[in-house]
Amino acid sequence: EPEVTQTPSHQVTQMGQEVILRCVPISNHLYFYWYRQILGQKVEFLVSFYNNEISEKSEIFDDQFSVERPDGSNFTLKIRSTKLEDSAMYFCASSEARDNEQFFGPGTRLTVL
């Protein structure tokens, strides 16, 4: 069964450093998403991406964040200058259509020291 994959599973970085989180969505899906979940808190929407551009973004997705689809399979989230409060689990998800169910990847646990 096709699945969303994410790398790395765990990333440790120093405050102020840039990180890139990588995702491979399900191949026939057209909509891609990033979410974050701070430990013990709810899943929070960051951004959705369709047709090579951002379609929606939340108030959390400020100028330190960017997304890219560098090739036909990868979907990346870049955090330019990490802060302690960026420590969270970051989930990538994809769906066939905008309002269809989203399939989540296993997540990348980001720890900012």
Partner 1 sequence: GQNIDQPTEMTATEGAIVQINCTYQTSGFNGLFWYQQHAGEAPTFLSYNVLDGLEEKGRFSSFLSRSKGYSYLLLKELQMKDSASYLCAVRGNDMRFGAGTRLTVKP
Residue numbers at the binding site for partner 1 (CB under 8 A): 33, 35, 41-45, 48, 56-58, 91, 98-107
Q: For residue 8, is the peptide bond before it cis, meaning its omega torsion is within 30 degrees of 0? A: yes
Closest Cα to residue 46, out of 17, 75, 72?
Answer: 75
Question: Least CB distance from residue 65 to partner 1, whole Å?
Answer: 15
> Please, which residue, 100 or 111, has the CB nearer to partner 1?
100
Phi, psi values for residue 85, rounded to 5°: -75, -5
Query: Tokens representing 100?
Result: 């269809």
> Please, which residue, 42 or 71, has the CB nearer to partner 1?
42
> Please, which residue, 48 or 87, has the CB nearer to partner 1?
48
Helical H segments across the chain, by residue range? none
Question: Least CB distance from residue 83 to partner 1, whole Å?
Answer: 22
